[in-house]
Chains A and B, each alone.
Chain A
Amino acid sequence: MTLNGLFQIVLLLGVLFLLVKPLGGYMARIYEGNLPSFMRWLSPLEHLFYRMCGVNPGQEMRWTSYSLGILWFSLLGVLTVYALQRLQGFLPLNPQGLAAVTPDSSFDTALSFVTNTNWQGYAGESTLSYLTQMFALAVQNFFSAATGMAVVVALIRGFARHSVETIGNFWVDMTRSTLYILLPLSLVLALVLVSQGVVQNFSPYPVIQTVETTSYDNPSLDAAGNPVKDAAGNPVTVKTTTQEQTLPMGPVASQEAIKELGTNGGGFFNANSAHPYENPTPLTNFLEMLAILLIPAALCITFGTMVGDIRQGWTLLATMTLVFVIMLAVAEYAETSGNPAFTSLGVNQQVSSLQSGGNMEGKETRFGIVNSALFATLTTTTSCGAVNAMHDSFTPLGGLVPLANIQLGEVIFGGVGSGLYGMLIYAVIAVFIAGLMIGRTPEYLGKKIEAFDIKMASLTILIPPLLILVGTAAAVMMEAGKSGVANPGAHGFSEILYAFSSAAGNNGSAFAGLSANTPFYNLALGLVMFFGRFWLILPVLALAGSLAGKKRIPVGAGTLPTHTPLFVLLLMGTVLLVGALTFVPSLGLGPIVEHLTMVGAH
C-alpha cells in the first residue's frame, strides 16, 4: 500500500471520529425528546402528525406492542412495494414505459427493501419506473433504517432504565428517526452529490450519437423473446452496428443519499455505486463511504450517552474499529497483489504514480484498488451492501473479506440500528462467557444477565448461521440452485454461499455472477431475508423488555468493568470466535480452496 492509500483510509476514519460525538449526542437528545433549538420549529408538525395517527407520544409501549407496531408497519411496506411494482405500467412517472415487474421478482424486492437488505435481482435502469424507485424503494430506505434505529433505541432504554415495563413508543421513535435524523442528513448529502455529477431529474432517457460506430454480435430472439440457439446449443447472433447510446436518468441523488445513510445499499442502477451517475468522482465516493459508517458509528455514542456512561459507547466503537482495520488490511493486501494469472500474459499490475495496479477486473479507474477494497470492507461490515466494485471478481482472499464480514453478523459498525443491537447482544454473550470463567452471575451495565436473556441473545446469534448454512446446503443440492452459478469450481460455491449470507445478514451485496432473478432464488432469498430481519428483531425487543424490568445492581468489587481495553479484547474475541467456529468450514470450501488453487497454479 502506498502512503497516499494509507492516508485516504486514515482521513476517512479521522473525519468519521470527528463527527460521531456531535451526531451521537444529537441523536440521544432526539430520542429523549429534548430537541435542540434549531430543530424545534418542526415540533408542532410532529405533534400534528401524532394527532392524525391517533398516537399519544407520551404513552409508552411494552415490548410486545412495540414489536406489533413494527410488524404492522413492515407488512404495509411489503404490500405497497409489491403492488407498486406490479402496477407501475399504469402509474405516472414512467417515461420509459416500463412494464410490470414479474411476481417473483416483486416479492423478492419487496422483502428485500423492507428488511433493509436491498438485494437486487433486477437491473434498475431497465426494470423500475421513477415512481417505483422513489415512492416504493426510497421510502423503504427511510422506513427500514428508522425501524432499525427504533429497535436499538428500545434496547438501549432496556439498559438505561430499571424496574419499568415499557421501552418507548415505536411510532415516536420511528418518526423522530425519519424527521430529525435521516431526512436532514439526506437532503444535504443529496445536494452535494448532485454538485459533483450525480443525476437528479424526471426526464426520459436521452439518446446521443456516439463518436465512433460500435459493432457487436446481437443475439437473435424468437417471437417469444427467447434467444435462438443453433444445433450445437450456441446462441445465434447477427453482426450489428450502432452509433447510438441511451443514457439512463432519474431522481438518483435523492435516493443515493438515503441509500448510504440508511445502510440500505439498493442501487438506482444495476452497477450500484460503481455506476458513474451514482458515484462520479472520488469525492462522492468518499462521502458515500462516510455516510455508510456515520450513523452506525454515532449510535455507539448515543448508547453511551443514554446509559449515562459515554465510555461504554467508546468501548464498543473501539472494538468495531479494531476488527474493521484487520479485515481491511487483508482486503487491501489481496487486491493490491493482483491476479498471478495476468502477469504471465504480459500485464502490468504494479502500483505506480501512473496507475493503481492490482486486480482491476470489476473495478473503476477513479477508485482504483484502495477505494474499492475499502468500500467493499465497509459495505459488508455494515449491512449496507452498496458496491463500487464487483465482489465476484475480487481475488479469492479479497472476496473472502466481504463474505466473512457479513457472516460475523454485521456488528462491526453494522447496519443502522441493527449493527449496534447485534454488538450489544455480543456484549451480553461476552459478559456471560466471562461470568462462566470466574464463576459469578454475569451482569452488564448493572443488569443481571439471566437465563431468559441468554436465551434471547443465543437466538439472535444462532438464527443467521442456520439460515445461511441450511440455505446454501439446500441450494447446492438442487438443480434450480446450481443452475444460477456463473463461475466454475469453488468460486461457484462461493457465489451461492455469498447470496445466502447476504440475504440472512440483510446486507444486499452479491457475488453478482449468480443469476438470482429466478423463481427459486427470489423465493428462497426473500424468505431468508424476512427471517434474518424479524426473527432477530423479536428476541432483541424481548431482551429489551426483560432488561427494562430488572433492578439495577450497584457496581461492586466483583463487577467486570466493561469500558476497559481488556473488555475490548474479550468482546472482539467473542465476535471472531463465534464467527470462526460457525463459518470457517464453509469458507474453506469456497474462497480458501480457490486461493490455494490460484497460487498453486503459478
Chain B
Amino acid sequence: MWKELRPAVVSFLVLSVITGLLYPGLVTGLAQALFPGQASGSLIFKKGRPVGSEWIGQSFAKPGYFWGRPSATGPMPYNGLASSGSNLGPTNPALIDAVKARVQALRATDPGNTRPVPVDLVTASASGLDPQISPAAADYQIARVARVRGLKTDQVQALVTQSIEGRQFGVLGEARVNVLKLNLALDELTHAP
C-alpha cells in the first residue's frame, strides 16, 4: 500500500511547499524589493496619512465632488471588504428602476443640464470599487462641480483634461479619469464644499 501511496504523498507535500510557500514567498520578496508601493496597494498619502488607494474607488455623493461609478457593494457603497457587481439581469425591473433613479439624482443636482447621461455614470461597476469614470462622465459633471464650488467652468475643465488618462500605450483599454485623484486635485484648488 505504502509503495503505491508514497509517490502521491511525498510529491504532494514537496510540491505543495514549493508552489504554496516558496513561490509566493519569493514573489513577495522580489515585489517588495522592486515595487514596494504597488505591492502594498498603491496608497495615496496626504500630509503623511493614507487617504485612499489609486486603484480602489471611494463613494462621492456631494454635488461639489465628481461622482464615480454607482457601486453595488453592501451594506455601503465602495465597501473594500465586499467587492461585487449588482448581478442584475438586463431585463430585471430592479435594474431599470435603479438606472432611472440615478438619472433623476444627477438631473436634480444639475437642472440646467439636459444632455443624455453617459452610461457608465448610471450603471454599477463589476467590482463595486471601480476607481475611474469615462471622460464623457467627467465632462458631464463639470458644470455642476464648477457652480457648487464657485469656480469658473474653464478651471474645472482644465483640471479634468489634465486628469484624462488615454488608452495604455495609445492602444489598450479605454480612456478614463481617476475620480479620487481628480477630487483631491479639486480640494487643492478650493476648500472642500
Mark A residues whose CB is within 8 Å of B: 4, 7-8, 11, 49, 52-55, 68-69, 72-73, 76-77, 80, 123, 125-126, 134-136, 138-139, 142-143, 171, 174-175, 178, 183, 186-187, 190-191, 194-203, 205-206, 208-212, 214-219, 240, 242, 245-249, 251, 253-255, 258, 269-271, 274-277, 280-283, 285-286, 338-339, 341-342, 345-349, 352-368, 370-372, 387-390, 392-396, 399, 486-489, 491, 494, 511-513, 594, 597-598, 601
With known contacts A142-B15, A194-B35, A199-B41, A511–B5 Cβ distance under 8 A: no
Given contacts A208-B50, A212-B58, A245-B78, could you give 11 more A-B pairs where the C-beta distance is less than 8 Å? A55-B7, A246-B79, A251-B28, A255-B24, A271-B126, A276-B55, A355-B120, A361-B124, A364-B127, A366-B132, A399-B90
Residues of A within 8 A of B190 (CB): none
With known contacts A211-B187, A214-B76, A216-B77, A80–B168 Cβ distance under 8 A: no
Residues of B within 8 A of A494 (CB): 89
Q: A364 near B118 (CB under 8 angstroms)? A: no
How far is B92's CA from A103's CA once the two chains are assembled, in angstroms? 33
Chain A proximity of B175: nearest CB distance (Å)? 7
With known contacts A355-B135, A393-B86, A200–B124 Cβ distance under 8 A: no
Is the CB of B144 closer than 8 A to any CB of chain A? no
Q: B126 near A388 (CB under 8 angstroms)? A: yes
How far is B122's CA from A187's CA once the two chains are assembled, in angstroms? 39
Q: A212 near B61 (CB under 8 angstroms)? A: yes
With known contacts A54-B7, A275-B129, A395-B90, A210–B83 Cβ distance under 8 A: no
Q: B82 near A354 (CB under 8 angstroms)? A: no
Q: A354 near B62 (CB under 8 angstroms)? A: no
Q: A366 near B174 (CB under 8 angstroms)? A: yes
> What are 13 pairs between A and B in contact, CB < 8 Å?
A11-B171, A139-B15, A139-B19, A142-B15, A143-B12, A187-B27, A194-B38, A197-B54, A201-B40, A240-B75, A276-B55, A280-B42, A357-B119
Q: B90 near A367 (CB under 8 angstroms)? A: no
Give chain B interface residues in 92-149, CB to chain A under 8 Å. 92-93, 95-96, 99-100, 103, 115-120, 122-137, 139
Picked from A4, A345, A354, the residue with its CB within 8 Å of the CB of B139 is A354
Residues of A within 8 A of B53 (CB): 208, 247
Which residue of the partner chain A has the closest CB to B45?
A208
At the interface, is chain A mostly helix, strand, loop or mixed? mixed
Q: A513 near B87 (CB under 8 angstroms)? A: yes
Q: A342 near B38 (CB under 8 angstroms)? A: no
Residues of A within 8 A of B75 (CB): 216-219, 240
Chain B proximity of A168: nearest CB distance (Å)? 14
Q: B56 near A134 (CB under 8 angstroms)? A: no
Which residue of the partner chain B has the closest CB to A286?
B172
How far is B17's CA from A134's CA once the two chains are assembled, in angstroms? 10
| Number of B residues with CB within 8 Å of any CB on chain A | 110
How far is B100's CA from A486's CA once the two chains are assembled, in angstroms? 20
Chain B proximity of A253: nearest CB distance (Å)? 6
Residues of B within 8 A of A135 (CB): 16, 20-21
Mark B residues whose CB is within 8 Å of A: 3-12, 14-16, 18-21, 23-24, 26-28, 30-32, 34-35, 38-43, 49-62, 65, 69, 75-93, 95-96, 99-100, 103, 115-120, 122-137, 139, 167-169, 171-176, 180, 183-184, 187, 192
Q: B7 near A126 (CB under 8 angstroms)? A: no
Closest 6 CB pairs of A and B: A282-B173, A513-B87, A274-B126, A390-B85, A368-B174, A282-B172
How far is B125's CA from A366's CA once the two chains are assembled, in angstroms? 11
Residues of B within 8 A of A281 (CB): 168, 173
Q: A246 near B80 (CB under 8 angstroms)? A: yes
Which residue of the partner chain A has the closest CB to B138?
A354
Most buried by B among A11, A49, A203, A487: A487
With known contacts A134-B21, A134-B24, A206-B41, A270–B82 Cβ distance under 8 A: yes
Chain A proximity of B35: nearest CB distance (Å)? 5
Q: A52 near B58 (CB under 8 angstroms)? A: no
How far is B173's CA from A11's CA once the two chains are assembled, in angstroms? 12
Residues of B within 8 A of A280 (CB): 42, 55
Residues of A within 8 A of B28 (CB): 200-202, 251, 254
Chain B proximity of A64: nearest CB distance (Å)? 12
Residues of B within 8 A of A249 (CB): 40-41
Q: B81 near A365 (CB under 8 angstroms)? A: no
